[in-house]
Amino acid sequence: MLAAGAAATAALAVAGCATYRADSGSGGSAPEPAQSGGGQGTASGSGGAGSSSADGAGGGSAGGASAGGTSLGSASDVPVGGGKVFSDQKVVVTQPQAGNFRAFSSVCTHQGCSVNEIADGTINCPCHGSKFSVADGSVAEGPAKRPLAAKQVTNDGGTLKLS
């Protein structure tokens, strides 16, 4: 019984969203709800832990990668006024003004889904429609009530690095 619960929790964490499956293929429609009836409490707890442990996981990953931090890619890949999601690192990097890079956890503070789009000055979550400001990660539109967790990012000669 415990192993089945752990497997279900792991499957939800890999899917990227505690409430919805990440594999909804049709554009424009809402993601399908997950089929796990009893997993809501576990998944919600996992989402909360994911938010705080994502910070720890990112720090651990950065320490193992190099003393200068984890390389994310070229700064030119992040458009001015927009941003880019780095799924593997669970981070979204924005550039609100030219040369001003900001980084935030890509885990939505509502229910742990992964944000997947930056448009019109907001970082958007596909699960329930929460939107966050590209400038500071604050909630622009709910249901999320808390901002995205800030991360440290540097532009090292045109290469973005997560500290």
Of 110 and 27, more confident = 110
Single out the residue of 27, 4, 62, 39 nearest to residue 112, CA to CA.
39
Contact between residue 118 and residue 134 where contact means Cβ atoms under 8 Å apart: yes
Dist CA 115 CA 25 (whole Å): 16
Q: Is the pLDDT at 26 greater than 70, yes or no?
A: no
Quick one: pLDDT at residue 69? 84
**What are the pLDDT digits (tens) for 40-71?**
332 223 333 333 333 333 333 333 345 578 99
Residue type, 46: S
**What are the pLDDT digits (tens) for 88-119?**
999 999 999 999 999 999 999 999 999 999 99
Structure token pair of residue 11: 């499957």
Domains of the chain, each with CATH number or no CATH? 2-22+36-162 (2.102.10.10)
**What are the pLDDT digits (tens) for 113-156?**
999 999 999 999 999 999 999 999 999 999 999 999 999 999 99
Contact between residue 8 and residue 36 where contact means Cβ atoms under 8 Å apart: yes
Residue with token string 């045109």: 158
Reduced to 3 states (helix: H, G, I; strand: E, B; else coil), residue 153 is strand
Contact between residue 135 and residue 96 where contact means Cβ atoms under 8 Å apart: yes
Q: Is the pLDDT at 11 greater than 90, yes or no?
A: no
**pLDDT confidence tier of residue 28, bands split at 50, 70 and 90:** very low
Contact between residue 128 and residue 119 where contact means Cβ atoms under 8 Å apart: no
